[in-house]
Structure 1
């Protein structure tokens, strides 16, 4: 493989640019499981329209476009595109991009710049760890809005977990977190995708993250599913970013134990797609027990690599 280096010559766009493209499965050690993501190196050779075209063609859910650093506090700069739109930050695509970079040029830490600021990605004995400020506590939605969401998911209030409150988290990437009573309720969800996509702007949530907590099977504490039809993703296999929101949610509800200023759990997602993956979550807490830093960690498996020349 070629080393991943950024040179002055590579910054200039050619009329028919060639880029290195990888397909990577994130939050797993086994290909064809976890969450697939596209990774494009040499992306400084592309304009925005070419990035959008390539993301649609790869159709991997989300694609990370890796470019040279935009400032002295970065080691690289990344833009993320789903098949439909640009995303501010994508956890599993970040993990995928750094799995590729680690294979080409191993480093203990890299500082990734992007629309949400600088994110630190560290190599650990348990895979790659991504740290960023913990998400702010979410807001509740109206009773009528909740009933509409549940109806479009094929669920009702009797299947909600009484000890937790549905909340919308996030600013650039927004998710409605829905606590369910048990795995049977999680299995029962049958979303009306077009109607949910139309509802997203009205309730201010681009995705719907359904979860159950309290499991203790193979080290897993939560299991979840996520539907993001407004972003062109019917069901997301494994979401790192949503799991940081889930950690704050569980902490707020007193459902996540903490010790020594740290709260940890492992979440399972993707079982319903046959692509199960695991996300390790760690929240660092301040003296008042509030989360100030969220870290997600996991492995990734490179499925294939190729080069593409764009017209």
Structure 2
């Protein structure tokens, strides 16, 4: 790497206001001079999901972000998007505004607001796509690999694939207590990825006392993505957007006046608890748009010569 203007790097925890909770991401500003090969090298060195913020290339957007895991580029990372716009609001004097962000899944709308003395970020995008319900033979293999018995499954929750940038298999359980008994076989889950057609396995249950019939629901979840080198993901905004659409489509979350709200909690089993809020704008059971809402906190910042 040549001796040019240094990049500014921020370590941020998303979907939380508590340090060392939520989902960590690395945000790199002033990244326009970097090649994609350099971006991948940095993400591998940092060994975390990394978002590189770039200037706009045309008038249909205000900025763009490229996302990399330590292994390869990805189209979109929800928590890194929350983290990036939190950094821009705090460090670049870009508070309380709306932005058009270009990503490899298209242009998404960002809103920055102030709530309880700090910034909160919203991402509005087209809804995830409903995929197939997996066949019985794959169903048995996935349940065995997660250590789930068939009676533990929620009877109204099909094992269904959802897609938005990546594919996730959604698996609903009868109770939150069952999440504690999961015994994921990461090697087998990674092997099943190409057969099932989903990179990750999002296992959830409705919180006690919430049934989704008043336009709102609270869930608790765990997600495993070993095929991407992530045994367990702390808190996923993208997967929760899938869950919101899935619940509405399957009649488990009833919209009120065209809107349904999901409050999802994740990360407790990793000692990194975080909360995602999802708003689904609907026409009947058909989602029209999804808004992912989250907080963030900056852990540290640094400069890297490039």
TM-score bin, normalised by smaller chain: over 0.9
1:50 aligns with 2:38: yes
1:1-311 → structure 2 map (5 Å cutoff): 14=2, 18-60=6-48, 62-104=49-91, 105-107=93-95, 108-126=97-115, 127-170=120-163, 172-216=165-209, 221-286=218-283, 288-310=284-306
Aligned length: 295
1:55 shift after superposition: 0.9
Contact residue 147 and residue 156 of structure 1 kept, 8 A: no
1:109 shift after superposition: 1.2
1:19 shift after superposition: 1.1
TM-score (structure 2 length as normaliser): 0.92
SS in 2 for 1:255: coil
Q: For the residues of structure 2 that align with 1:15 and 1:170, how far apart are their CA atoms?
A: 41
Q: Deviations over 1:158-180 (max 9, x none)?
A: 21111211101105310000111
SS in 2 for 1:138: strand
Q: Which runs of 5+ in 2 are unaligned?
A: 211-215
Comparing 86-95 with 249-258, greater Cα deviation is found at 249-258
Give every structure 1 segment of 4 or more consecutive aligned residues whose post-TM-superposition deviation is greater than 6 Å: none
Q: For the residues of structure 1 that align with 2:24 and 2:217, how far apart are their CA atoms?
A: 21
Compared with structure 1, are the counterparts of its residues 297 and 216 closer, same or farther at alpha carbon in structure 2 (3 Å cutoff)? farther
Compared with structure 1, are the counterparts of its residues 85 and 215 closer, same or farther at alpha carbon in structure 2 (3 Å cutoff)? farther
Comparing 195-204 with 33-42, greater Cα deviation is found at 195-204
TM-score (structure 1 length as normaliser): 0.91
1:93 shift after superposition: 0.4
1:228 shift after superposition: 0.5
Q: For the residues of structure 2 that align with 1:53 and 1:156, how far apart are their CA atoms?
A: 42
RMSD of the alignment, in Å? 1.7
